Amino acid sequence: MVALVIAEHDNASLKGSTLNTVTAAAQCGGEVHVLVAGHNAGAAAAAAAQIAGVSKVLVADAAHLADGLAENLAEQVLAVAGAYSHILAPATAYGKNILPRVAAKLDVAQISEITKVDSPDTFERPIYAGNAIATVQSGDKVKVITVRSTGFDAAAASGGSAATETVAAVADAGKSAFVGREVAKSDRPELTAAKIIVSGGRGIGSAENFKLLEPLADKLGAAMGASRAAVDAGFVPNDWQVGQTGKIVAPALYIAVGISGAIQHLAGMKDSKTIVAINKDPEAPIFAVADYGIVGDLFEVVPQLVAELG
Amino acid sequence: MKVLVPVKRVVDYNVKVRVKSDGSGVDIANVKMSMNPFDEIAMEEAMRLKEGGKATEVVAVSCGVSQCQETLRTAMAIGADRGILVETTAELEPLAVAKLLKAVADKEQPNLIILGKQAIDDDANQVGQMLAALLGWPQATFASKVVLDEGKVTVTREVDGGLETLALSLPAIVTTDLRLNEPRYVTLPNIMKAKKKPLDTTKPEELGVDVSPRLKTLKVAEPPKRSAGIKVPDVATLVNKLRTEAKVI
């Protein structure tokens, strides 16, 4: 049994979720190989070879692999798929886009967003916005899996010494083209990798008021997140959204400010180690999952909290 | 141009589902069912393309039990011209649905298929991508903006770091994200009109598709419960607890 991990990268460096996926792959019980498909992605491939537990890195390099187009990436995975019992990718926008194409072409089911490997053919995954955990067994010859990164520890980024092998790049499918990218700029930690997250909801009231949370996030070295209500109201960009339809996070500390705690939001953060809720409504559902709650006006509580943290 | 919109009947998003005590699944007997919210967004987008003169016919399709007819009637009340039900009592996995939809697409020959990005029951996020693979069409998943032109569609996608834009040649697959549009409310006159629109029924066997499941669900369990928390009287107590008790700061 050999597992193949599809590395998520920007050609220059690996995304953190790749490391969590390597851990899940190792738990499937065999060797772990990593595929780095991109353009001028030597740095990403070198980083992949350093990951502890990886025994081989496959590198496919071509201009039409640069931007992660699903049509080309899926074909590249299929070109090397024959040797593998498990094919895994992170359950990020990147992995979710590519892997079902691979599964369909292999005529196998895909197992989405696993949170646990019970055995090489049995996996646990949340359904109904995390309100139930299903244990599923795959009878397919190849297990095609996306991995929820918060369910697995990150593999060590150094200490490995995998061999690197170049594989032939597939031809450009030519049916889609990359037009452009708008990257949201942020100096803060990445939301899905942060140890502490300060998150705001509708209760914040305006985009201007979100600035109130910045000193708190700065003090804690935290990433900033938001509920869907805050995103839909235009307070903050879409990619801040935590929840069933946004990002799934599990930091050590999650501070929910002015967030009521709808099912869809809880789906994205209820595996956090410690949850703090600041809300003026004592009946808000967020208090049912919060370890520590303060009932009060966030406009008073948040500055006090900043002051208290010194 | 013809647009095909697959819609799924799911437990209403406001329902808090309960896991059956025998661990065989979640209890969906007698709970409110609705159209999957992402599929409403897909229907809305198809209607906007039609109203903007880009699409000429919108066909809704659903796979599952006979009650999925209600979901198709809703789609027709939103504005779909007709409906197709692939009727089966079998448990359908995403791969099976993708195969059924491919068979329907082979017959209907749409130029564009718009699906929701995921269903809120199985949370799989697979069918659109699988259908694209089976048809050999390009895909744009998690769309927040769709611009249809002659022979191509330009789609802005929600990705982890922000947004990216792709241009796809037609025919193509688009899956919708939440911010693509605000679905309209269906009006009573449109519900009445929808009852008269054609709804064809077919079966997996007639389409020549084997829908037998590939995954076996061994059990379904409640997620681990969080232990009850406490409310603290003031900020000083909170910071103290975070430092000494939770040790997270």
* B172-229 residue pLDDT tens: 999 999 999 999 999 999 999 999 999 999 999 999 999 999 999 999 999 998 888 9
Taking the Cβ of residue A103 and every Cβ of chain B, the question of whether any pair is shorter than 8 Å is answered with yes
Q: Which of B123, B179, B230 is opposite residue A129, by nearest beta carbon? A: B123
Say what the pLDDT of residue B145 is: 98
Q: What one-character-per-residue DSSP string does chain A give?
A: -EEEEE--B-SSSB-THHHHHHHHHHHTTSEEEEEEEESS-HHHHHHHHHSTT--EEEEEE-GGGTT--HHHHHHHHHHHGGG-SEEEEESSHHHHHHHHHHHHHHT--EEEEE-EEEETTEEEEEETTTTEEEEEEE-SSSEEEEE-GGGSPPPPSSS---EEEE-PPPPP--SEEEEEEEEPP-SSPPGGG-SEEEEE-GGG-STGGGGGHHHHHHHHT-EEEE-HHHHHTTSS-GGGBBSTTSB----SEEEEES----HHHHHHHTT-SEEEEEES-TT-GGGGT-SEEEES-HHHHHHHHHHHT-
Say what the pLDDT of residue B226 is: 87
A288 pLDDT tier (thresholds 50, 70, 90): very high
Supply the DSSP symbol for A249.
Answer: -
Give the distance from residue B15's alpha carbon to the nearest chain A alpha carbon, in angstroms. 9
Q: Could you give the residue ranges of the DSSP H alpha helices within A151-256? A: 213-220, 228-232
Average pLDDT over residues A253-281: 97
Average pLDDT over residues A132-136: 97
Interface A-B: count of C-beta contacts within 8 A: 250
Residue holding tokens 């899905």? Answer: A192
A105 pLDDT tier (thresholds 50, 70, 90): very high
Give the distance from residue B92's alpha carbon to the nearest chain A alpha carbon, in angstroms. 11
Taking the Cβ of residue A131 and every Cβ of chain B, the question of whether any pair is shorter than 8 Å is answered with yes
Say what the pLDDT of residue B211 is: 97
**Rounded CA separation A109/A136 (Å):** 11
Q: Are strands B2-6 and A253-257 parallel, antiparallel or unpaired?
A: unpaired
Average pLDDT over residues B75-84: 98
Contact by Cβ (8 Å): A219, A255: no
Q: Above pLDDT 70, what percent of chain B? A: 100
The 10s digit of each residue's pLDDT in B44-55 is: 999 999 999 999
Cα Rg of chain B (Å, integer): 21
The 10s digit of each residue's pLDDT in B18-34 is: 999 999 999 999 999 99
**Rounded CA separation A54/A60 (Å):** 17
Cα Rg of chain A (Å, integer): 21
Per-residue tokens: B239: 């910071």
Gap between the terminal Cα atoms of chain B: 58
Give the distance from residue A178's alpha carbon to the nearest chain B alpha carbon, in angstroms. 5
**Rounded CA separation B27/A18 (Å):** 36
Mean per-residue pLDDT over chain A, rounded = 96
Average pLDDT over residues A217-243: 95
Q: Which residues of A touch B138 (CB under 8 A)?
A: 70-71, 173, 175-176
Average pLDDT over residues A40-63: 98
**ipTM of this predicted complex?**
0.95
The sign of the torsion formed by the CA atoms of A238, A239, A240, A245 equals positive
Q: Say yes or no to pLDDT of A143 above 90.
A: yes
Q: Say yes or no to pLDDT of A184 above 90.
A: no
3-state SS class at B160:
coil
Select the residue from B34, B139, B176, B210 to test the A interface by mutation, using most A Cβ atoms within 10 A.
B139
Q: Are strands B112-116 and B82-87 parallel, antiparallel or unpaired?
A: unpaired
Burial class of residue A226, CB neighbours in 10 A (0-12, 13-18, 19+): buried
A310 pLDDT tier (thresholds 50, 70, 90): confident
A185 pLDDT tier (thresholds 50, 70, 90): confident
Select the residue from A92, A260, A292 to test the B interface by mutation, using most B Cβ atoms within 10 A.
A292
Average pLDDT over residues B76-91: 98
Say what the pLDDT of residue B171 is: 98
